[in-house]
Amino acid sequence: MLFKLLVYIFVFSLPILFLVRQRRVQSPSTGSSAATTTETDEGKSLKTIMQPPRDDLDPPKYNPITLKELQEYDGSDPSKPIYVSIKGDVFDVTRKKDVYGKGGSYNTFAGKDGSKALGMSSLKPEDAVPDYSTLPENEMKVLDDWHSFFSKRYNIVRRVTDMPEAVAPLRSTTANAETDSS
Ligand code: HEM
């Protein structure tokens, strides 16, 4: 009788344990919360799906580049690096070719400044534009979190020189790039 009871408990607890485990793994990656929780939960649950921060990054290089020139680095030419610009800071994401290269799930951010879409947690190409000036405060925060996420994982290699006028006053939060081009 006792044995039977133990078997019942075991059999019923298995699916419950499975569900609890699933919830733990999935919750940070759903929809826009993937972006918003990136930094706040860093080092905790997100460690399981997002790559961890790196400690081998180079000091930022702010060599000037235009939005037009940036287009060459969208992953369509395998001999060239892949660049993603956020608020005009250009990150070298080449080592994540599978994600940002041709056919990759985040290729929409490659070879351009798609700051607005990052703030909106949107993957629509039409949202991936450099003028993020119209984002509401909460989305501006999401964008800043992404900038911080990338800063901890990818080298800054360039700085966009022709970002839209509308965002000029908003860019002071990032490095004083124009003067610092090493
Ligand atoms: C159901 C929706 C989504 C799921 C399940 C999801 C899932 C993931 C996963 C698993 C990763 C880690 C990938 C890796 O390290 O290889 C990731 C990273 C990322 N996601 Fe999403 N995501 C979703 C929506 C979005 C949206 C809407 C955006 C638009 C802003 C977005 C932007 C990103 C970016 C920029 C990364 C960083 C990739 C990197 O490591 O460089 N995600 N996402």
Mean pLDDT by 10 residues, the chain (182 residues): 61 55 40 44 57 96 98 97 98 98 97 98 98 98 98 98 93 49 41
Q: Which residues pair with 156 in a beta bridge?
A: 91
Q: What is the pLDDT of residue 117?
A: 98
Question: Which residue puts its alpha carbon closest to atom 42 of ligand 1?
Answer: 34
SS3 state at 175: coil
Residue 8 lies in a domain: no
Question: Which residue puts its alpha carbon closest to atom 14 of ligand 1?
Answer: 50
For residue 7, the CA-to-ligand 1 centroid distance in Å is: 41
Ligand 1 lining (C-beta closer than 6 Å): 29-31, 34-35, 49-51, 96, 99, 106, 118, 121-123
Residue 44 lies in a domain: no
Q: What is the pLDDT of residue 133?
A: 97
Q: Could you give the CA distance from residue 62 to residue 79 in angstroms, rounded to a whole number? A: 22
pTM as predicted: 0.77
Q: What's the length of the chain?
A: 182
How many separate domains does the chain show? 1
Q: State how far Cα 78 lies from the chain centre.
A: 22
Between the CA atoms of 36, 41, 93 and 137, what dihedral angle is there, to the nearest 10 degrees? 30
DSSP letters, 72-133, are GGSSSSTTS--EEEETTEEEE-GGGHHHHSTT-TTGGGTTSB-HHHHHHT---GGG--S--T
For residue 70, the CA-to-ligand 1 centroid distance in Å is: 22
Minimum-distance ligand 1 atom for the alpha carbon of 150? 41
Residue 41 lies in a domain: no
Residue 38 lies in a domain: no
Residue 76 lies in a domain: yes
For residue 178, the CA-to-ligand 1 centroid distance in Å is: 31
Question: What CATH number is attached to the domain comprising 114?
Answer: 3.10.120.10
For residue 29, the CA-to-ligand 1 centroid distance in Å is: 7
Domain ranges, residue 126: 52-179
Q: State how far Cα 169 lies from the chain centre.
A: 23
Q: What is the pLDDT of residue 15?
A: 55
Q: What is the pLDDT of residue 28?
A: 33
Residue 79 lies in a domain: yes
Q: What is the pLDDT of residue 169?
A: 84
Question: Which residue puts its alpha carbon closest to atom 34 of ligand 1?
Answer: 106
Q: Which residues pair with 64 in a beta bridge?
A: 159
Residues 6+ away with beta carbon under 8 Å from 155: 57, 58, 60, 61, 91, 92
Residue 109 lies in a domain: yes
